[in-house]
Amino acid sequence: MKNSKKNIFAVIKDKKFITLILTLFFAVIIAASLSPLSAFAETSGKELSDTVSIEECEEVAKIWISRNYTDDTQTDDIIPIMAGDKVMSYCVNFKNSSGPNGYVVFDAYRYTTEIVSEFALSGKGIYDTLYENAGITEVTPYNSGTSTANVEKVIYSLGAYEYAVSENNSGSKFYTSYGTSISRTDINEIGEEVKAVKEMKSETDSLVPYSGYTDALIWGSQLPGNNDNCLIYNIGNSPDFIPSTAANLRNGSNQNNYVPTAGANILSFYSEKRGFNKLGSNRQTIYGNIVNKSGWAYNGSGEMSNSKLKDAMKSVVKSAGYTLSIDTYTWDRWSSWTRDLRAGHTVYTVFYGYTAEGINNKKEGHALVAVGFREYNSGHQYLRVYDGWNASSDRYLLFNSDVITDKDGACIYVK
C-alpha cells in the first residue's frame, strides 16, 4: 500500500502531466467563450427531454392564481397534454366556490421558448369541454377489473390549438375538439408531427434556460397577470356573446365544419349584438344559409375552403340588404389584428399546424374568430377568440405559439 501511494504522488508531481491537464482545461474554457451559441447547445438538447413534474407545475399555478384572481380560486386538476410519446404541456384547471373557473396551459419543458400558450379566466377546462362536445358523460376513472369505460385524464395535442381525448381505456377510439372520431394511428402520427414542429422551433429560437421552473422571481415577471401594465381591448359587446360550437350547428354527416361555424359566429354576432337582424332569424338559419350559398356538401368528406366561406358570407349579407367588408391580410402581423380589433371589427383567423412536409403533405388549419386581445408589458401577445369547439367568450391564445407554423387573417364585418 505504501508503494502504491508513493507512485500516485509521483504521477501528480510530474510537471508535464500537470501542464497537460491545465492546457486542456483552459482550451475548453476558451472554446466555450468563443461561441455565443454554446450556452444554448445543452439547452437545445434538453428541451424535449427535460420535462417538469406535476408538483413543479402546481407551484407555478399558485403564482398564476396570485397574478390573475382575487377571489377564492384554487388549483383543481392538472392534466398532461401529450404529443407523440412526450408530455408537451400541462392544462391546469381552476375552481372557486361557484365551480369551474378557467384554466391555463403551461409548457412542460424546463427549457422553453414560451410559458403560457393559452388560458381562460372563467369556465370549464379543455378536458371537460372535449368530453362534453363528444357527448360522453365522464365516469369514475378506469380501475383494473371493473367495467368502467374511462381512462386516467390525458389530453392529446392535434396542433394549432386542437385536442383529443380517449373514449375508453383501450385507447382504440378518440374524439377531437369538434366531437369527431379519430383513430389511434392518427393520434400517434399527428402527435409526432406536433412534436417535430416544436423541435424545429427549438433549433431556431434562442432558448432561455430557467434555472428554476418554479422560481417566483423569474416566473413572476414572465407569467401574464391582470396586475401587469397590460393593454386589453375587446370589440364592443363581444364579451356578452357566447359563440356556437361546430357540433351544435352541424347538419348532415359532414363533421369538418369549423370554417362555416366561424363564419356563422361572425354573422350571428352582428345580427344579435350590432342590430343587423335581417341576416337570419336564428344562428342555425344563418349557418344553413352560409352552407347553401357555398355549395359545400353537408354530407361530404371535405372541408369548406376560406375563399368559399368569404364568397358565401358576401352572398348571405347581400341578400339581407347589407354589405360585407372583407380585408384579407397580405402580411399576417400582430399589428394587423390589433389595428382592426381596435376599430371594433371581427377578424377571421386561421392558425396552421404541422409543416409542408407533414401529414398528407399539407398544413392543417384551425379557423376561429378574434374579438379582442391582450398585450402585456412582458411582450406576451394573446388573441381573445370565439372558437368552434369551445362555447366561451373568455379564451385567449398565444399569437406566436411554438405549435403554430403559419397564420391567415381577414378583417370581416357587416355594414
- pLDDT score recorded for residue 143: 43
State how far the Cα of 202 lies from the Cα of 197, in Å rounded to an integer. 9
Q: Can you give 21-79 as a three-state secondary structure string? A: HHHHHHHHHHHHHHCCCHHHHHHHHHCCCCECCHHHHHHHHHHHHHHHCCCCCEEEEEE
- pLDDT score recorded for residue 379: 79
- pLDDT score recorded for residue 362: 52
Q: What is the pLDDT of residues 251-279, one digit of tens each?
A: 877 778 899 999 999 999 999 999 999 99
Q: Is the dihedral of CA 390, 393, 396, 400 positive or negative?
A: positive
- pLDDT score recorded for residue 203: 59
- pLDDT score recorded for residue 214: 52
Residue 46 grid coordinates: 434538453
Q: What is the mean pLDDT of residues 3-27?
A: 41
- pLDDT score recorded for residue 261: 95
- pLDDT score recorded for residue 244: 93
Question: Among 195-199, 243-247, 301-305, 313-317, where is mean pLDDT lowest?
Answer: 195-199
What is the value of pTM for the model shown?
A: 0.82
Q: What is the mean pLDDT of residues 327-347?
A: 95
Q: What is the mean pLDDT of residues 11-40?
A: 37
| Average pLDDT of the chain to the nearest whole number | 79
Q: What is the pLDDT of residues 69-119, one digit of tens each?
A: 999 999 999 999 998 888 889 999 999 999 999 999 998 877 666 789 999
Q: What is the number of residues in the chain?
A: 415
Between 168 and 320, the higher pLDDT residue = 320
Q: What is the mean pLDDT of residues 148-158?
A: 71
Between 44 and 202, the higher pLDDT residue = 202
- pLDDT score recorded for residue 137: 66
- pLDDT score recorded for residue 37: 25
Model confidence band, residue 31 (pLDDT cutoffs 50, 70, 90): very low
Q: What is the mean pLDDT of residues 385-401?
A: 91
State how far the Cα of 213 lies from the Cα of 175, in Å rounded to an integer. 32
- pLDDT score recorded for residue 313: 98
Model confidence band, residue 365 (pLDDT cutoffs 50, 70, 90): confident
State how far the Cα of 267 lies from the Cα of 253, in Å rounded to an integer. 23
Dihedral, 163, 167, 171, 173 alpha carbons, nearest 10:
-80
- pLDDT score recorded for residue 197: 76
Say yes or no to pLDDT of 225 above 60: yes
Residue 241 DSSP label: -
State how far the Cα of 193 lies from the Cα of 274, in Å rounded to an integer. 41
For a pLDDT cut of 70, what percent of the chain falls above it?
A: 74
- pLDDT score recorded for residue 192: 86
For a pLDDT cut of 90, what percent of the chain falls above it?
A: 42
Between 209 and 242, the higher pLDDT residue = 242
